[in-house]
């Protein structure tokens, strides 16, 4: 990945930040794209301290196409042709379907699904223009395959299921151009998003409960799914496309009933 340009959405925190820093350690040029301008700049600074030859922070709302288009143009002008993209920005807002306002449903899908589509769209344009292929990794979720026991995750689950379907289609459509498209499926990971819908006072109890339910007995460190992403971005995964790399501590392998 040395001197190749990698763009990461949602790069200001969590798994996105971990991917940025791992790419930086491999001497990639990195564009940190995040809705929070201050965090994107801060992580870009961390990336340079970790060894990135160049890094920049870009403020961007992934649900707005003009923002995404500008982000890619800025990245290409300063870092060169885009070789790797991690389409990761997302939100987890929940509610039971009969109570969920349409505006909230639309907001979740606009960020999680449309945002990933727009990121992939402009990544494809960039890679096709450069004519050198590339690798795109999208963040899916166990929620794309099973219903969460806690319930109320219809909008989030629908968005992640859409991402998984999109990944398969794009992988087939763009394979002839040397562009690989895959998904990572992180499980419970110690990130701000993990606790987005949990009152602060209940976080310790909820963390303990989740750890007891995950076969490996703990939450993931953000670096763990990030390593899976970086592998998919790298040439080590050169024959992998249209796949889902599950990094969930065994959750999807576990039956829900104790028999």
Question: How far is residue 250 from each of residues 18, 98, 102, 147, measured CA to CA in Å?
Answer: 21, 32, 34, 16
Q: Distance between CA 112 and CA 144 in Å, rounded?
A: 12
CB 114 within 8 A of CB 60: no
Q: Is 117 a catalytic residue?
A: no
Please pick, among 117, 156, 174, 239, the residue that the annotation labels catalytic: 156
Closest by Cα among 176, 126, 116, 115 to 6: 126
Instruction: Determine whether 2 is exposed, middle or buried from the number of CB atoms within 10 Å of its CB (0-12, 13-18, 19+).
Output: exposed
Q: What are phi and psi of 246, to 5 degrees?
A: -85, 125
Angle subtended at Cα 109 by Cα 106 and Cα 110, rounded to the nearest 5 degrees = 80
Rounded to the nearest angstrom, the gap between the alpha carbon of residue 84 and the centroid of all alpha carbons in its chain is 13
Instruction: Give the residue numbers marked as catalytic.
Output: 156
């Amino acid at each position: 990945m040395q001197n190749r340009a990698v763009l990461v959405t949602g790069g200001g925190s969590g798994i996105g930040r971990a991917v940025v820093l791992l790419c930086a350690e491999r001497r990639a040029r990195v564009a940190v794209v995040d809705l929070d301008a201050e965090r994107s700049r801060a992580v870009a600074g961390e990336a340079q301290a970790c060894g990135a030859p160049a890094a920049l922070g870009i403020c961007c709302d992934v649900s707005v196409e003009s923002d995404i288009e500008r982000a890619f143009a800025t990245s290409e002008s300063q870092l060169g042709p885009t070789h790797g993209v991690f389409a990761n920005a997302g939100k987890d807002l929940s509610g039971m379907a009969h109570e969920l306002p349409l505006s909230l449903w639309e907001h979740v899908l606009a960020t999680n699904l449309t945002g990933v589509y727009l990121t992939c769209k402009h990544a494809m344009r960039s890679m096709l223009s450069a004519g050198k292929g590339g690798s795109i990794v999208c963040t899916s979720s166990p929620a794309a395959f099973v219903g969460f026991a806690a319930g109320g995750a219809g909008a989030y689950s629908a968005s992640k299921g859409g991402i998984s379907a999109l990944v398969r289609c794009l992988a087939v459509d763009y394979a002839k151009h040397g562009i690989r498209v895959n998904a990572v499926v992180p499980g419970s990971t110690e990130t701000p998003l993990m606790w987005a819908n949990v009152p602060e006072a209940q976080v310790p109890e909820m963390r303990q409960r989740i750890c007891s339910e995950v076969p490996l007995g703990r939450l993931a460190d953000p670096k763990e799914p990030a390593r899976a992403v970086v592998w998919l971005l790298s040439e080590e995964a050169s024959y992998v496309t249209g796949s889902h790399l599950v990094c969930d501590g065994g959750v999807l392998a576990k039956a829900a009933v104790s028999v």
